[in-house]
Structures are given as C-alpha cells and as structure tokens.
Structure 1
Amino acid sequence: MQHRRHFLHTAASAAALAAFAPLHALAQGVDQVKIYYGFPPGSSGDSVARRVGEKLAGTAYCKTAAVVDNKPGAGGRIALEALKSAPADGSVLALAPVSAMSVYPHIYAKLSYDPKDFATVSIGAVMHHGLAVGPAVPPTVKSLKDFLAWAKANPDQASYGSPGAGSMPHLLGALLGIRSKVELKHVPYRGTVPGITDLVGGQIASTMNPSGDYLAYVKAGKLRVLATSGPIRSPYYPDVPTFAEQGFPDLVVEEWFGFYAPAKTPPATLALANAAITAALKDKVVLDSLALVGLIARGSTQEDMAKSQKAEFERWGPLVKQIGFSAES
C-alpha cells in the first residue's frame, strides 16, 4: 500500500510538472524538414524557403538543413494540395503567399483545399508590388498620373502583365483600372520572369509584379517603377511614391509569404517550428539575402499570422466582387 501511495504521489507530481512545462519542452524535433514551395526555383519566395531552411539545422526543431521541394504550377496551389495530405508531425511545411489563403477562396469555386486544412507557423517575409513601365512607354511618362493619361490616350497599347490570373498583382492592376476609370488590358504570364522579359523588350507597356523582381533592371536603366503598393515607400525604391500617395489608397498591399503545416500538427511541434523560423529570420545572412531580392524579413507568432490572414480574407472578398474576376471568367 505504501508503495502504491508513493507511486501515485510521484505520478501526480510528474503530471503537475508536465502541466506547467512549456510546450516546446515536451515536443520531439525531427531529423529533417521538407519545405514545399509552389513556384519555380530562383523566384523571390524561393529565397525565403532556402535561406530559412538552411538555418533550421541544429535547432530543437530540426537536426539538419531543410530540403526545399519546388512544386510550381496553379498559382502555388499544387504545393498546398501536397501539404494537405503530408504527415502532420512537423517533417513537412509549405511556404505560400497569403493570397493563396485570402484571395483564392474568393476566385476558385472548386478550390482543392480549405485554409482550415493548415496551421499557421510564422510569416517569413513581406513584399510590396510595383507598377513598372518599359521602352514601349515614352520616357516623358514619369509618374502614375502620366502613365494613366498615356494609357487613356493610347488604348490599343494600354496593357499590364502580371505573374498570373488571380494573382495579387493581377487584382491590383484591375483595381487601378477601375479606380482610375482607365481601361487597362490584363496579360497573364506564367510567373514574373517572362513578363519582365517582354517589358524590357518593349512587347508590353507595363507590368505589375513584386517590386523586388525589378531591382536589377532598374539599376541597369531598362525599367522605371512608377508606384509601389506598401503603406510607406519601399526601402528599395525610396524615390518612388506609393499608390496611396498618388491617389489610390485601396491599392495598399503588403503581401507576405508564410510557413504552414498540416492542420493536425501537434501544438508543441508548431511551437518548435515557430521558434526556429523566427530565429532564422533575425540572422544577418538571411536578412541580407532577402534584401537582394527586395524582400523584408519578418517573423511572427502563429496567432498574428492567423489574424493577418483572416483580415486579408475579409478585405479581398468584396474587392474581388468589384473586380468581377473568377477563375471561370
């Protein structure tokens, strides 16, 4: 009986300690993490997955550097479809733009996943989008106002490219046309590189893309960025006014890339992943690498990421209706 009382007392003490122990102390790390990314290697978000993934090695979350598995296509949806059915043990994450969770549900009647299929882990980096013009537009066009006046006077040439139909840049360009009452023809591309190539070559008047993707071309004098989408000016284009500064306040967008896990991943494992990722995003090597592609490193709590996603979802529902775009249109 005495042994039994001692056993019960010991078990109760252990249970009490476990109740007060931090979640991450109870979690098991993984040997290696695979990060799905739904766009090609070399794109700006790919840098986030790779630079952060390298820094996961030797953390409580992961023993070795992460492996990035690019699954391009369908605007990033293929990677999220793969994550939905992946093991919920912390060994698989995905990096995705917030638009995949906040905009796609409004434009795809038959989306192959639901945002509830995933758990938020941490925001990774923030990007601003920008409108750029190339040699097809006269050099006298130096501001957004100039461009809209030129587009109105030259309707046959008034076009803008985007990384794809339904992407955030596509919707920003459509909103710009609606708010300015200037018809801008949308030309969807498969990613940013083909559109910028045509822009530099003079085959298209303008493009709306993540502004970091223009950096090398602007430095070479081949493109001019006329507006950026952040709430304040981009640190990479301090002389370029925002859309809001130029009279379009609802074109303020900071789109972020975020890390997601399968929904049933244990909370303790998610806490370990969050700690490792947010630490990596403070590393100078990561900060400098992301700056090269025009991204601003920014970690977050799981809760703040979820709140931001929800706010974006609620914001874009009515805007998508105004634009009148759906995947079937």
Structure 2
Amino acid sequence: MTFTRRQLLQTTGASALLASLGQRAFAQASLETATIVTGFAAGGTSDTTCRRLAQKLSPEYAKAAVVENRTGAGGQIAVSYVKGRPADGATILQTPTSILTIYPHIYKKLPYDPMVDLTPVSIACIFDFGFAVGPAVPASVKTVPEFLAWAKANPAGANFGSPAAGSTPHFIGALLGKKGGVELKHAAYRGTQPAMLDLLGSNISAVSGPIGDITQHLASGKVRILGVSGAKRSRFAPDVPTFGEQGIKDMAHSEWFAFFLPAKASPELVAKLNTAMKNALAQKDVIDGLGTFGLEAMSSTPGELTELLKKDTAKWAPIVKEVGFTAEG
C-alpha cells in the first residue's frame, strides 16, 4: 500500500468493525491516569506532540494524562519501557517511526521487535526535516552544495548533529555527505534541541532535524536552513529549497510520529484510544498548535499504521546498506 499526505489526511474514520468496537469501548469507565511516553527531551517536537495530545485525552479516554520523557539510546529506552508495561491502556508510546523501521537494519540486537511487541494505534502527524547551519559556518554559505564544498575544504568543520544515531535525520546528513563526496562526522544527541544548543554555541557546524525544531531558532539570526527534505517545499519554510531543487537527487524523506500500546492490547482498547486520538487531531487548536512546530496533524486507522511500518521498513533497507552505518545493540 502506498500512502500520501492527501490519503492520510482524508482518513476520517476506522472500519465499521472498529467504529462498533469504539462505541462499546467508550461505554467503559475511563482510566484514572494515562502516561504518554516519549524517548526524546522536553521542548522538542516529539515532546510537544505528546503534550498537545495529552490535554485532549481527558475525560473520554482517561481522567488525567501526563507525559514522561524517557530519553536515551536514540529512543530505544522509551520503546523498551512501554513494551514491558501491562497492556491495560495506561501506558502509551509516542515515537518517530524511524525507531521502528530503520533500527532493525542497523542493530544486530534490538531490545524489542516493532511488529511483535507493540500495538499500532494511530499516526499523529507528518513532518519534513531541515538541514541547518550556525555561526561556525561562514555567512557566504547559503545552499547545501555550498556547505558540502566548504566542509570538504574545512575538514575540521565537516560535521553535523542529529537527534539520534540511526535516526532519519542522521541518515539524511550522512547521505548528503556521501552525495557531496565528503565525510561528515556525526554527533548524536538526545533530541534535536540539545543539538541546536551546540549549533548556536558553534560546537558543531550543522544540524539535521525536524524542521519545526529548527524554525523556532531562526529569530536568533544565528541559524539558517539550507535545505528541506520533502518532495516539495515545506509550508513552514516556504523560502527554503528542497534538496531536489538543489540538484541532490533521491533525497525526499518525511517521517511520522505515531502512537502505540503494548502488545496484546485488546481491540476494544485500541479502538477507544484511536477514536480519542482521531478526535483530538481534528481539533483546530491541536492542528494550529502542532503547525507552530512544523508538524502537519493527521490520523490513521491501526491497520494503516501497520502497513506504513511495513512499507517504510522495506524502503530503508537499501538506504542503510548504501550509507554503511551499523550500531551495536
């Protein structure tokens, strides 16, 4: 199955069976407290998505909803934690899909099996990535090819940061270097915001990360986005050309944040959370709030999310092989 933004944005309901299950589920008592777990630091796009949605889960799904940041190991700690929790709906995972679709190709041993240990619920939003530079790079560098040429001539500054080793933005930076004939040294952080702080402090030259994590720093005048990863220009940075527009081919990559429950969650529970998420993601304040962080709100059925994971897992296999990055689990 091939997914497009249009198709996912047009998803307004689950199947008749799922809707029926959802109605039964809503008749049940709400949970006392639901905890949404993210593997990334506070202040970033993942954390923001969790907090926007947590406000909307009460009272239908839970009487209260809180967010817990379990950072480390590029998001693996959060996934592993949720995997081990009871499948009673009280613990919800929110994660970028790359942790489930790319990591199986780079880690010999993962502490979880994405297709076995988690129950897909819904997509939350889609977003593009930006490649930005800071004060360590001369102001004369205005495009990605110019940065790659500068990095080749200045090997000490040939580096970039990303929110995690093995993440989509990590591979974007590595692929850009490969296509430009220069090795860009990678620095992995616990989220994009810590990387941006090092960028502002001239400790690294560039950052590859979700565009919303970068645009919030543009007002400082110290950060500039050289390119975006989407197939077309981002509405959140309309003046920034795509990689493709700059002559860098086969570099259109977007990503989703999605919600999951532990394995063996009941169909009724999945339907209840899916309906609550779908209703929340259709509200204007949520759409506008996520938009301020460069995130395009959308929802899906559990089945659509499952198919998307399968599709993206297959997509990344040859890319990982091309870059040649592996990690010890």
What are the superposed Cα offsets for residues 194-222 of structure 1, whole Å, 9 maximum, x if unpaired? 32122222222211111111223212211
1:120 is paired with a residue whose SS is: strand
1:137 is paired with a residue whose SS is: coil
What are the superposed Cα offsets for residues 4-60 of structure 1, whole Å, 9 maximum, x if unpaired? xxxxxxxxxxxxxxx99922233335323221111222221111111111111132x
Measured in 2, the distance between the counterparts of 1:20 and 1:222 equals 49
| Matching of residues 116-131 of structure 1 within 5 Å | 116-131=116-131
Aligned to 2:227: 227
Aligned to 1:6: none
2:127 is paired with a residue whose SS is: strand
Shift of 1:224: 0.8
Consecutive unaligned residues in structure 2, runs of 5 or more: 1-16
Supply the AA of the counterpart residue of 1:43.
G
Measured in 2, the distance between the counterparts of 1:21 and 1:282 equals 17
Matched, 1:284 2:265: no
Aligned to 1:71: 70
Aligned to 1:90: 89
TM-score for the superposition, normalised by structure 1? 0.88
Aligned to 1:36: 37
Say if 1:166 and 1:250 are closer, same or farther in 2 by CA, change over 3 A: same
1:309 is paired with a residue whose SS is: helix
Supply the AA of the counterpart residue of 1:33.
A
Q: Percent identity?
A: 47
Measured in 1, the distance between the counterparts of 2:196 and 2:248 equals 24
| Aligned pairs, number | 309
| Matching of residues 1-329 of structure 1 within 5 Å | 22-27=20-25, 28-31=28-31, 32-59=33-60, 62-115=61-114, 116-328=116-328
Query: 1:30 touches 1:90 (CA, 8 Å); kept in 2?
Result: no
Query: 2:39 touches 2:71 (CA, 8 Å); kept in 1?
Result: yes
Measured in 2, the distance between the counterparts of 1:273 and 1:190 equals 28
Supply the AA of the counterpart residue of 1:154.
N
Aligned to 2:11: none
Shift of 1:120: 0.7
Shift of 1:232: 1.6
Say if 1:177 and 1:292 are closer, same or farther in 2 by CA, change over 3 A: same
Instruction: Pick which of 177-186 and 129-138 moved more.
Output: 177-186
Q: CA RMSD in A?
A: 1.9
2:245 is paired with a residue whose SS is: coil
Supply the AA of the counterpart residue of 1:199.
L
Supply the AA of the counterpart residue of 1:88.
A
Supply the AA of the counterpart residue of 1:94.
L
1:249 is paired with a residue whose SS is: coil
Measured in 2, the distance between the counterparts of 1:224 and 1:21 equals 46
Structure exhibiting the larger radius of gyration computed from Cα positions:
1
TM-score for the superposition, normalised by structure 2? 0.88
